Structures are given as structure tokens and as C-alpha cells.
Structure 1
Amino acid sequence: MIAKIGQVMVYVRDQDVAATFWTEKMGFTVLQDQDNDGMRWIEIAPRGDADTSIVLQDKNLLEQMDTGLSLETPSLLFYTDEFEQMYNDLAEKSVTVGDIVDMPPGRTFNFADAEGNYFAVLETR
């Protein structure tokens, strides 16, 4: 089902300041800086070929969207190439799953563990 941990999402108030910190102070590389209809995300990694990356998400925008996610700690984004099957399997197992949402990088949904911690899944293509 889950192929790998693809991204860690970090929720920040100022994406540009955060990106500058990670690139100039920590030596990370910007892999993507995309804006789609006002939803911007900046993907960074220690190297261009890293298996896992950090995505700097706009905390202000996500608060307005009222996603139900805890924005105080980073979130994990899992990758799967069995998207529909994973969504259906989790729902059948009475796991709390969110709606499937089309995002610029692909389809995604959230799920919660037994303590109400939310995680995200992205369809890999």
C-alpha cells in the first residue's frame, strides 16, 4: 500500500523566510516553487536526488481552509501507487479518511490514526 514516506509538510507563516532559512543556512535545494490558484508550496531537500523532501506549506491559508489538520507540528505525506485501493481499504477498516482532493501534484486524501493524528496520502503516477 504505502510505497515510501515522500514528503514532510512543515506549516509556516512566511514561506519565503522559511525557504531562505533552509537554503541559505542549511544548504538545502529548492526542488519546486509552485503556486496554483493561490495555494503555494515550496519543496526543498538536502539534495536534488533525495528520496524524501520537505514541503513548506502556508499555515495562514490552511487555517482559513479549516482542514482539521494540526498545523503545529509537521505532517507526513505518504506516496502510493495503489491510491483507490488504499483509500477503500482504510475506509473498510473504519479508519477516518477525508475526501479525495485534486491538488496540483496529484490526488490526495487524509487519514487519522487512533489518537486523531492526521496523515496524508498522495497518488504517485
Structure 2
Amino acid sequence: MVEAVKQIMLYVNDQQATADFWVEKLGFTIVANEKNGGFHFIEMKPNPASETSIVLHNKEMIAKMSPEMNVGTPSLMFSVADVSAEHQRLKEAGVKVGELTQMPFGTVFNFCDNEENYFAVSSK
């Protein structure tokens, strides 16, 4: 039986630029930056105590190694205590953000990273 989500893999064109985006704009922490031969991954968390991490892999390399894999960006939704404040903070940090939208489950907005991959944020 599955007990938790350990890692979310993001396949990106520029691992370091994307890691810099998540660290500088969203406050993530790098927990591993491993290079082993031609294989390189960067693992990061929204906070060090988080059980789930995001791992950045080189999209082109993964597509060559495993052509059957879907290297598209998954649809992820993050939660924050104050969605309006986070929307404003990201906007002021120069992140491209969508409008605050009221949904049946709460207020949400989307944002995109440095590679134009879109993600969502909602209130807890």
C-alpha cells in the first residue's frame, strides 16, 4: 500500500536555472545536487521538514534514456496559509502569475517557472 508521495520528478531543459528559480522565487531549499557520470539531478523541498521533494532531471537525457517516458510537466498544486499574500509576493518577485480565482474549494492562482511550466497555488 502506498503511504506517501516521496518525490515528484520535473524534466527540464536547464536544471540549474530552474533550481535557481524555485530557490530564489519560491523559497525552496536544495537538499541534494548529485552528479554521477553523465547523470545529474537536483532535489529540493519547500521546507527541509517536507516529506515530498521535487527532483529536477535533464529532459533531453531522460527522453534519450527512456523514450517511452512522458517527460511533460505534471500539473501540481501547492498550498499556502495566505494565498493572497503569496500571490502578491510572487508578483513582486517578478514571477508571472495568473489572477486570483475563487473555486469551490478555495482561492487559487497559477504561476509559471523560468521555462513557462505552469503550476497552481491554493489556500490550505
* Same fold by TM-score greater than 0.5: yes
Are 2:50 and 1:50 equivalent residues in the alignment?
A: yes
Q: Could you tell me the percent identity over the aligned residues?
A: 40
Query: 1:16 matched to which residue of 2?
Result: 16
Return the letter of the residue paired with 2:12. V
What stretches of structure 1 move > 2 A for 4+ residues in a row?
none
The residue number in structure 2 matching 1:93 is: none
State the partner residue of 2:36: 36
State the TM-score, normalized to the length of structure 1. 0.56
**Shift in Å at residue 30 of structure 1?**
0.2
Q: CA RMSD in A?
A: 1.5
User: Contact 1:15 / 1:58 at 8 angstroms: preserved in 2?
Assistant: yes
Q: Specify the code of the residue in structure 2 equivalent to 1:68.
A: E
Task: Give per-residue Cα distances to partners, 1:77-103, cap 9 Å, x unaligned.
Answer: xxxxxxxxxxxxxxxxxxxxxxxxxxx
In structure 1, list runs of 5 or more residues that go unmatched.
76-125
Distance 1:16 1:26 in 2: 15
Amino acid at match of 2:33: D
Q: CA deviation at 1:67?
A: 4.0
- 1:25 matched to 2:51? The reply is no
